[in-house]
Amino acid sequence: MANETSETLPVRISRILAERIISGQLEPGARLRQDHVAVEFGASHVPVREAFQRLEAQGLAVSEPRRGVRVAAFDLREVREVAEMRAALEVLALRHAGPHLTRAILDEAEEATRAGDNSPDVRAWEDANRRFHRLIVTPCAMPRLLAAIDDLHAASARFLFSAWRSDWEARTDHDHRAILAALRTGQVEEAAAILARHVQWIGSKPVRTAAGGTRDVFAIQG
């Protein structure tokens, strides 16, 4: 059982399953059967069980006592909840990160914003977006806070991927640029205010469906 990386088996399994849940490959309500997952990864029940518990802690799965574990469902209410928690916590993190932000970090964040604007698909955009947000809050050096924010990002990304399945058009992210501009001039509070609005902004946006019609899709930014 040559573990090429030092990553422990339950962590590996939970990480891969999390990717599938976030990407929408595993749909909400889908059952996660431990034997099936076990044989897929060539492992036994025990590590799979621990992986499930990890997913549950992240809010990506729910486990009913003797009835197995399912991919967590999420409704608009929970999306709003996650967005508001993100707003509250990322603002807190940014306030503490502010004094430790260097020009190099801000340049990297700007590069991430450009990468987001030029993204060919949602996946690439999400990756760049997350990179931006992580860059500007990481210097707060509050591990517990950053871990919580990461989990919330995962939940956000999940919703994002479920909204835009196929059609997607990149557009320039003005909020990111405004945040960077404020940070470059040392206006941390101004940047935090924009960030709060930016993360929390949830509206609806008409999207062309495959059939040619339009439907309303909730749009989350950030």
Partner DNA sequence: GATTTCAGAATTATAGATAATTCTTTGACT
Partner DNA sequence: AGTCAAAGAATTATCTATAATTCTGAAATC
For DNA, the binding residues (CB under 7 A) are 1, 8-10, 31-35, 42-47, 49-50, 63, 65-69
Residue 152 CB, nearest approach to DNA (Å):
26
| Alpha carbons 41 and 215: distance in angstroms, whole number | 39
In terms of CB distance, is 19 or 35 closer to DNA? 35
Angle between helices 188-200 and 76-97 (to 10 degrees): 170
From the list a second copy, DNA, none, pick the one residue 148 interacts with, judged by a Cβ distance below 5 to 8 Å according to partner type: a second copy
> Which tokens hold the place of 217?
């899709």
Residue 154 CB, nearest approach to a second copy (Å):
12
In terms of CB distance, is 5 or 102 closer to DNA? 5
From the list DNA, a second copy, none, pick the one residue 31 interacts with, judged by a Cβ distance below 5 to 8 Å according to partner type: DNA
> Which tokens hold the place of 76?
């608009």
Amino acid identity, position 155: A
CA 96 to chain centre: 21
Q: Which residues of the chain form contacts with a second copy (CB under 8 A)? A: 6, 8, 10, 46, 49-50, 53-54, 57, 59, 65, 78, 81-82, 84-85, 88-89, 91-92, 142-145, 148
Conformation bin of residue 169: beta by default, left when phi > 0, alpha when psi is -120 to 50: beta
In terms of CB distance, is 105 or 145 closer to a second copy? 145
> Which tokens hold the place of 43?
């492992």
In terms of CB distance, is 35 or 107 closer to DNA? 35
- What residue has token string 């964040």? 109
The answer to whether residues 69 and 56 touch, using CB atoms and an 8 Å cutoff, is yes
Residue 212 CB, nearest approach to a second copy (Å):
37
| Alpha carbons 206 and 111: distance in angstroms, whole number | 29
From the list DNA, a second copy, none, pick the one residue 145 interacts with, judged by a Cβ distance below 5 to 8 Å according to partner type: a second copy
